[in-house]
Amino acid sequence: MKIAELAPLMNEMSKEKMMAHIEEFSRWTKHAGTEGELESLKYVEREMQAYGYETQLILHDAYISLPGEARVDALGESFGCIAHSFSRSSGPDGTTGRLVYAGIGRPQDYEGLNVSGCVVLLEGIANPAATLEANRQGAIGQIHISPHEYVHEMCISAVWGSPGDDQVGILPKSVVVTVPLETGQRLKQAIADNKTVDVALFAEVDTGWRKTPILVADYIRPGADRDDPFVLYTGHHDTWYYGVMDNGGANATMLEVSRLCVQRADLWERSLRVIYWSGHSQGRYSSSSWYADHHWEELERRALVHVNVDSTGGLGNTVVGDTTAASELAELAQEALSTQAGQDFTGRRMERAGDQSFWGIGVPAIFGNMSEQPAKPGSSNASAAVFGGQNRLGHGTGWWWHTPHDTGDKIDADILDRDTRIYQYTVWRLLTDQVLPLDYAAYAREALATLKRYEEQAGGKLSLAPLTERAQELEERADRLNAAIRTQGEESGKAAALLNGCLKELSRVLVPLDYTYGDRFGHDPALKQHSLPALSDMPRLGGLDPDSDEFKFLASRLIRERNRAAVSLRDAIAVIDQYFQKG
């Protein structure tokens, strides 16, 4: 651990340089595949080259959806609204139907309703889950009610990345718009007054294939070959409108950390790859998924940890404790937050969001959205619906998120500096620790707690004993591995290499178990995901009759998933055993 050498770099961190980047990012709207995005990215490329990085600007095909003009005609008036990325276009005559209120759009909200051929009125921010359910119910349109006067751009496709031919059928099939709170309340009240409310939705959405850019910047540590393992440090460059916080702040953070770290590349134990994505906002992570697909084997061989940066430096975004990290990286997250921000990490797991396209490959991840507004009871913040709501310290990134108001005045230089120091500490540790700071005993404890909870919620109707026993074995082995890491000593390069090899092999086995449904080469949908997701339907068994078809169908699938998990845990235990046999 070379923390003493970090202090001089921290002293050189420059708010002035970061705010100069912010000023530059304020010049461009950066929608995916547009000229403004490319010109802004060329500025980033010039900066990275000036720091000594070798850069490559890739243009690739991506399925992108750019919303245009929209309106709602109802109650004899025309109301302003926005259409959403991957909404269907209405055509010039509009999409017309009876308006039906359906809560927040969950399956239970449709009980007793027939919305086939109707437009549904839904509370809250537009999202893929609500769109999928509305499509299943036969709705031809959705009107979402914003929680306040601002309307927030959203991508509503559940398809992660550009769709394959087997995924086209689950793209949104309806016209989807959002109206301000006041408009939504008027429409809702009209329905409550037992009126038949007919609406017409008008939306122009440009969806299709276009070339989008990825900027890859590599710095190979001195003396290493070009196949050297690397830390993957990424964030998206495309935005909604000017997107100066989301994601200009993050890009400024990425540039400054990249600048500082190379000044002491002589201390690195591994190399650094920095990537700026397109297609995050209007392509559902199309660039990061494309990169994973087209560089799969290289990433499996070389990528060690993925550090993601999103929305740093936002005005009033004082809370960082609710950021996210994989359990094996939670201790590093705690250290970074406590030393650089004086806050404790609450332990939130990574969300199925934020260009996390590398879990199938087996790359553990730390951070995504970093800082948030402090939670205020009763206050409205649409972005909190995306980042999670209940029992949280943070409450989203600000009312301007995903609106034209995300401009340079929404950046606080001091908060940007604080957030960037968190990333500087984290990336420095990952680059310079002789042994990667990955704790698979913590992973095993979290997995064990999840398995026990699932079994309890299932009412004991399906035993997970084979898994809990192996999770306990994994914890014991990983504790022994941690002890070996603590005692191997800085002077032992060969011992460190063996330990790092063991940790990488563990990640390739265990990350897919905790963060995918089992397919290492595909991309799971952009929907909420729980720990050990392939087993996350276990609690449903608790409410089912064991003699019912539904129970037996579900149990059949879960038994297969239990087998998959058992083999993964077995293989992880074997990786650690093989390390000690070599030692």
Given this model, what pLDDT does residue 195 score?
81
Cβ proximity of 398 and 315 under 8 Å: yes
Given this model, what pLDDT does residue 395 score?
82
Compute the distance between CA of residue 380 and CA of residue 362 in angstroms, rounded to an integer. 37
Compute the distance between CA of residue 382 and CA of residue 307 in angstroms, rounded to an integer. 25
Given this model, what pLDDT does residue 487 score?
87
Amino acid identity of 52? G
Q: Strands 175-179 and 82-83, how do they pair? A: antiparallel
Cβ proximity of 84 and 127 under 8 Å: no
Compute the distance between CA of residue 128 and CA of residue 125 in angstroms, rounded to an integer. 10
Given this model, what pLDDT does residue 578 score?
96
**Domains along the sequence of the chain with CATH:** 6-61+209-432 (3.40.630.10), 65-205 (3.50.30.30), 441-486+493-582 (1.20.930)
Compute the distance between CA of residue 368 and CA of residue 62 in angstroms, rounded to an integer. 23
The helix (run of H) or strand (run of E) holding residue 230 is: strand 230-236
SS3 of 356, please?
coil
DSSP state of 107: G
Compute the distance between CA of residue 51 and CA of residue 44 in angstroms, rounded to an integer. 11
| Token representation of residue 238 | 């495309």
**Which CA distances in Å does 5 have to 258, 267, 329, 417?**
16, 9, 22, 19
pTM for the whole thing?
0.96
Q: What average pLDDT score do residues 284-306 get?
A: 98
Residue that is written with structure tokens 């700071």 in the block: 437
Cβ proximity of 286 and 279 under 8 Å: yes
- CB half-sphere exposure, 47, CA atoms < 13 A: 25
Residue 492 above 80 pLDDT? no
pLDDT tens-digit profile of 387-434?
555 567 888 899 999 999 999 999 999 999 999 999 999 999 999 999
Instruction: Of 61, 76, 17, give the one whose Cα is nearest residue 164.
Output: 61
Question: Average per-residue pLDDT in the chain?
Answer: 96
SS3 of 103, please?
coil
Residue ranges with strand state E in 75-228: 77-80, 82-83, 95-101, 119-123, 141-145, 175-179, 198-219
pLDDT tens-digit profile of 22-37?
999 999 999 999 999 9
Cβ proximity of 510 and 532 under 8 Å: no
Instruction: Of 205, 232, 208, give the one whose Cα is nearest residue 218.
Output: 232
Q: How confident is residue 386, by pLDDT bands cut at 50, 70 and 90?
A: low
Tally of helices (H runs) and strands (E runs) in the chain: 15, 12
pLDDT tens-digit profile of 436-462?
999 999 999 999 999 999 999 999 999
Cβ proximity of 87 and 249 under 8 Å: no
SS3 of 204, please?
strand
Residue that is written with structure tokens 């310290």 in the block: 393
Residue 54 above 70 pLDDT? yes
